Structure 1
Amino acid sequence: MIGRLQGLLAAKNPPQVLIDCHGVGYEVDVPMSTFYNLPALGESVSLLTHFVVREDAQILYGFATPGERDAFRQLIKISGVGPRTALSVLSGMGVDDLAQAITLQEVGRLKKVPGIGPKTAERLLLELKGKLGSDIGVRTGATSDAQADILQALVALGYSDKEAALALKALPAGVGVSEGIKLALKALAK
């Protein structure tokens, strides 16, 4: 398995790059988040990779960060989500945005990604809950769990995702679930 490539950036043709590693050129498909952060042609580049072998092709996928590669690997484990769809998801939203969407169970954010319909978005949220979304909870602390619970309660009461998200932004940091729901309902009643 090829885990990392380091060499000179020989060509950039979105979403593919060519990396010259001591005279051997590797074609690597990358998400746009990685593509935008690549150095100029001829400069040194290092990418983490994921190698896919199929009957008709052997394809390398490259990533600038371990988080991107981990998210890609979690995405391709889901039934019906292949490497191209996973690249599309990572190109359409960053890893932090994806983790937040999963934590807050925001179907609408995933449906905005080209190639992701309502059923696939719901499957992504279901399959990745607790896997990818939990990472953001570790970074932002316990408030992320409370905010997710408040958001779900507001949506269950009939408010739209947008209304509930706006009400969440108005809440003080570190507010508990029950107090947060009360404050959010007061804000939404105005």
Structure 2
Amino acid sequence: MIGRLQGILAEKNPPQVLLDCHGVGYEVDVPMSTFYNLPNTGEPATLLTHFVVREDAQVLFGFGTAAERDAFRQLIKISGVGPRTALSVLSGMSVAELSQAITAQQAGRLVKVPGIGKKTAERLLLELKGKLGADLGAPVTAASDAQADILQALVALGYSDKEAAAALKALPAEVGVSEGIKLALKALAK
């Protein structure tokens, strides 16, 4: 119903923000990965959203990237995983890390997220295999350790998973981490 909000960031109270859109203030719950990349209060911000209607509440969830929102939507399709748990997963790990864990079937990485037990982690791995891991994990798992480090560094600097993966493809195969980050940043700056 509500797919995107663009306005002035009025308040930041983790994990919730208040986005003023032409005089209407929307309370939006965001994962910490999005929260850390938001501008200061009083500055313009844009969030991709997912609207959840329950019997007792209507809640708006916001995301900084389409990949985060897509991962959230895949997570809430799983039986026993609600929006709060999905938000917790995305706050505990990046989309790239989640897709890596799914592709490599590493339940241990998911169990480290608060609210995720062993059974839930195994269910996530089973149900998301071939969905989230296949889409986002393919460039990560095919990459060397250096390329994985470069990808994580670019994502940590605020680039989307798609932008980081595209910059990574343009790099020479056996480039070192520090040199690879420099080259990728130059390519992304164009």
* Interval of TM-score (by shorter of Structure 1 and Structure 2): 0.7 to 0.9
Q: Is the 8 A contact 2:100 2:141 kept in 1?
A: no
What are the ranges of 5 or more consecutive residues in structure 2 without an aligned counterpart?
145-172, 174-190
Correspondence 1:111 to 2:125: no
Aligned length: 146
Q: Take 1:46 and 1:55, find their aligned partners in 2: how far apart are those partners? A: 28
> What's 2:67 paired with?
67
> What's 1:95 paired with?
95
Deviation string 1:78-108 (CA, Å, 9 cap, x unpaired) is: 0000000000000000000000000000010
Structure exhibiting the larger radius of gyration computed from Cα positions: 1
Q: Is the 8 A contact 2:100 2:140 kept in 1?
A: no
- Please report how far the alpha carbon of residue 13 of structure 1 lies from its aligned counterpart in structure 2 after TM superposition: 0.4
Q: Is the 8 A contact 2:110 2:116 kept in 1?
A: yes
Amino acid at match of 2:15: P
- Please report how far the alpha carbon of residue 143 of structure 1 lies from its aligned counterpart in structure 2 after TM superposition: 6.2
Q: Take 1:7 and 1:90, find their aligned partners in 2: how far apart are those partners? A: 23
Deviation string 1:152-176 (CA, Å, 9 cap, x unpaired) is: xxxxxxxxxxxxxxxxxxxxx9xxx
What are the ranges of 5 or more consecutive residues in structure 1 without an aligned counterpart?
145-172, 174-190
- Please report how far the alpha carbon of residue 139 of structure 1 lies from its aligned counterpart in structure 2 after TM superposition: 2.2
- Please report how far the alpha carbon of residue 44 of structure 1 lies from its aligned counterpart in structure 2 after TM superposition: 0.2
> What's 2:48 paired with?
48
Q: Take 1:137 and 1:30, find their aligned partners in 2: how far apart are those partners? A: 23
Cα pair distance change 1:6/1:79, threshold 3 Å: same
Q: TM-score scaled to structure 1, two decimals? A: 0.74
- Please report how far the alpha carbon of residue 135 of structure 1 lies from its aligned counterpart in structure 2 after TM superposition: 1.8
Q: Take 1:141 and 1:14, find their aligned partners in 2: how far apart are those partners? A: 32
> What's 2:26 paired with?
26
SS in structure 1 at match of 2:41: coil
> What's 2:188 paired with?
none
Cα pair distance change 1:37/1:137, threshold 3 Å: closer
Q: Is the 8 A contact 1:103 1:136 kept in 2?
A: no
Q: TM-score scaled to structure 2, two decimals? A: 0.74
Correspondence 1:81 to 2:51: no
Runs of 4+ residues over 2 Å off in structure 1 = 136-144
Deviation string 1:104-127 (CA, Å, 9 cap, x unpaired) is: 000100000000000000000000
| RMSD (Å), alpha carbons | 1.7
SS in structure 1 at match of 2:61: strand
